[in-house]
Amino acid sequence: MELVRKIYSLLAGTRKDVEVTKEEFSQSAIKFGQVTPLEIDILYQMSDLYNATGRLTLADIERIAPLAEGALPYNLAELQRQQSYGDRGRPIWLQIAESAYRFSLGSVAGAVGATAVYPIDLVKTRMQNQRSTGSVVGELMYKNSFDCFKKVLRYEGFFGLYRGLLPQLIGVAPEKAIKLTVNDFVRDKFTQKDGSIPLFAEILAGSCAGGSQVIFTNPLEIVKIRLQVAGEITTGPRVSALTVLKDLGLFGLYKGAKACFLRDIPFSGIYFPVYAHCKLMLADENGHVGGFNLLTAGAIAGVPAASLVTPADVIKTRLQVAARAGQTTYNGVIDCFVKILREEGPSAFWKGAAARVFRSSPQFGVTLVTYELLQRWLYVDFGGIKPAGSEPHPKSRISGLPPVNPDHLGGYRLATATFAGIENKFGLSLPKFRAVSATPVQTKAAA
């Protein structure tokens, strides 16, 4: 069948679903001299058992002799494209174009995900910044996350829930884009020929993605956090993004960067592998994952990733928020950790954990759903590894194949295709028999 595939590829080129007539196939087969007219007749007889068109397609070849389980690629055009690159790899400009394409889609996906859950993020920040000691008032401003949400809505209005959204959107686009692009890039480098990726490579890819985003994450978060807590202060000048930038300066934008690394690297190292395996578990029999299942996979992966790194997120928030009069100040990650542990106890490191899970889990779910759906809807073939969902799963090979018939008898269909029309091929005159169903009249006569 490899020769049949080669002949078909010469006729079809890089096009898909090309129908080849018997005459066209026979003329091309003459060049090779290894395919007899009888074999061509048998091939077309077998293909007509499924769809009697008298023409041969790639799907027919796959039905007659499917590729080995897990074999890639699963169409000839893809095989030709990958073989043309071979060991020399793709041109550097093509790889850059692919990264730019993914970066653009990641920017849109990041903005959608951040906007969807921003009110929860604001509540999480205010809960983490709430300090039980050194308070001027002497009591906590918020009892819990729900109480915080109600008070913000009551005293600051609906748009108070979106305070600081603009700098978040400006920064989240490149941040999420870098994270998704780096994760895809590293995963591609470790993807094996059968499409699998070792677990350590998945963790490494996620960790690299988390570390690479801090250059954008830290400045945008310190501005966002200071704007989010500014609503708690009813007196004094109005705080805006420009005033925060003036107060901090360039180097001040990276205050708390160490804590940001401690949070983002393990978060992504946990999130992306869990997400990838959840997608496999939720895939259908053809390996396809629908939009709702993608969202579910993203939400499930966000629970352990967001909850386990909450202590680092608390430390980062405390370092980045400007302390008010009478509040405890911190000099670095270790000093912050020691003071929180001594003054507020171990439970303080888990403040806002619920809000963080409820924010991060759906946010990354929405972000990755948007990212993967955009890759499907706006798919561009750069000659690399296809993004998940843009093509049928490798196990399905050719979409639209008929399911296996449990009532099928061993070689009956093969024998039928082989011996059909044999009396014409060899000049024989064999009798033909046709089963005649008994009519009601005949049944009564027999009785």
Residue 308 has pLDDT above 80, yes or no: yes
pLDDT band at 356 (very low <50, low <70, confident <90, very high): confident
**145 lies in the same domain as 75:** no
Assigned domain for 16 exists: yes
DSSP state of 162: G
Assigned domain for 183 exists: yes
Q: What is d(CA 386, CA 382) in angstroms, rounded to the nearest whole number?
A: 9
Q: Roughly how many angstroms between the first and final C-alpha of the chain, as a whole number?
A: 54
Assigned domain for 67 exists: yes
CA angle 379, 385, 388 (to 5 degrees): 60
Decide which of 327, 353, 378 is a domain's last residue. 378
Helix (H, G, I), strand (E, B) or coil at 80: helix
Q: What is d(CA 444, CA 432) in angstroms, rounded to the nearest whole number?
A: 28
Q: What is d(CA 348, CA 350) in angstroms, rounded to the nearest whole number?
A: 5
**232 lies in the same domain as 338:** yes
Helix H or strand E encompassing 56: strand 55-56
Q: How far is CA 2 from CA 263, 334, 392, in A?
A: 52, 64, 22
Residue 203 has pLDDT above 70, yes or no: yes
Assigned domain for 133 exists: yes
206-225: pLDDT as tens digits: 999 999 888 877 887 788 78
User: What CATH number is associated with residue 277?
Assistant: 1.50.40.10
Instruction: Please enumerate in sequence order all residues whose Cβ is within 8 A of that of 414, keeping only pairs 6 or more positions apart, or say none.
Output: 46
pLDDT band at 79 (very low <50, low <70, confident <90, very high): very low
Q: How far is CA 77 from CA 82, 373, 381, in A?
A: 9, 24, 12
Helix (H, G, I), strand (E, B) or coil at 52: coil
Quick one: tokens of 371?
């990212």
**244 lies in the same domain as 310:** yes
The top-scoring range by mean pLDDT among 77-81, 222-226, 344-348 is: 344-348
Residue 204 has pLDDT above 90, yes or no: yes
| Polymer length of the chain | 447
Decide which of 378, 413, 434 is a domain's last residue. 378
**79 lies in the same domain as 127:** no
What percent of the chain lies above the pLDDT cut of 90?
Answer: 10
**125 lies in the same domain as 32:** no
User: What CATH number is associated with residue 74?
Assistant: 1.10.238
> Domain limits at 207?
120-378
Quick one: tokens of 154?
């009551």
Out of 306-310, 339-343, 439-443, pick the least confident.
439-443
State the chain's mean pLDDT as an integer: 75
Better-scored residue on pLDDT, 187 or 85: 187
Measured in degrees and rounded to the nearest 5, phi and psi for residue 260 equal -65, -40
* Residue closest to 214 by CA, chosen among 274, 272, 267: 267
127-172: pLDDT as tens digits: 877 765 444 444 677 888 788 888 888 888 888 888 878 877 877 7
Assigned domain for 424 exists: no
Model pLDDT, residue 409: 43
Model pLDDT, residue 87: 39
Q: What is d(CA 121, CA 164) in angstroms, rounded to the nearest whole number?
A: 11
Q: What is d(CA 238, CA 225) in angstroms, rounded to the nearest whole number?
A: 15
Quick one: tokens of 309?
């790194």
Helix (H, G, I), strand (E, B) or coil at 307: helix
380-427: pLDDT as tens digits: 777 666 555 444 444 333 344 444 444 444 444 445 545 555 555 555
* Residue closest to 152 by CA, chosen among 174, 119, 128, 175: 119
Assigned domain for 444 exists: no
**150 lies in the same domain as 270:** yes
State how many domains the chain has: 2
11-55: pLDDT as tens digits: 776 565 678 888 888 887 776 666 788 888 888 888 777 777 778
**279 lies in the same domain as 211:** yes
**146 lies in the same domain as 73:** no
**165 lies in the same domain as 277:** yes
Q: What is d(CA 338, CA 331) in angstroms, rounded to the nearest whole number?
A: 11
Strand partners, 20: 56
Better-scored residue on pLDDT, 324 or 232: 324
Assigned domain for 388 exists: no
**154 lies in the same domain as 21:** no
252-286: pLDDT as tens digits: 888 878 888 989 999 999 999 998 899 888 887 76
Q: What is d(CA 416, CA 394) in angstroms, rounded to the nearest whole number?
A: 31
Decide which of 348, 378, 408 is a domain's last residue. 378
Assigned domain for 423 exists: no
**180 lies in the same domain as 308:** yes
Using an 8 Å Cβ cutoff, are 177 and 251 in contact?
Answer: no
Using an 8 Å Cβ cutoff, are 28 and 15 in contact?
Answer: no
Strand 55-56 relative to strand 20-21: parallel, antiparallel, unpaired? antiparallel
Using an 8 Å Cβ cutoff, are 254 and 219 in contact?
Answer: yes
What number is the average pLDDT over the span 55-71?
69
Better-scored residue on pLDDT, 308 or 77: 308
Residue 236 has pLDDT above 90, yes or no: no
* Residue closest to 42 by CA, chosen among 421, 409, 432: 421
Model pLDDT, residue 300: 92
Model pLDDT, residue 139: 61
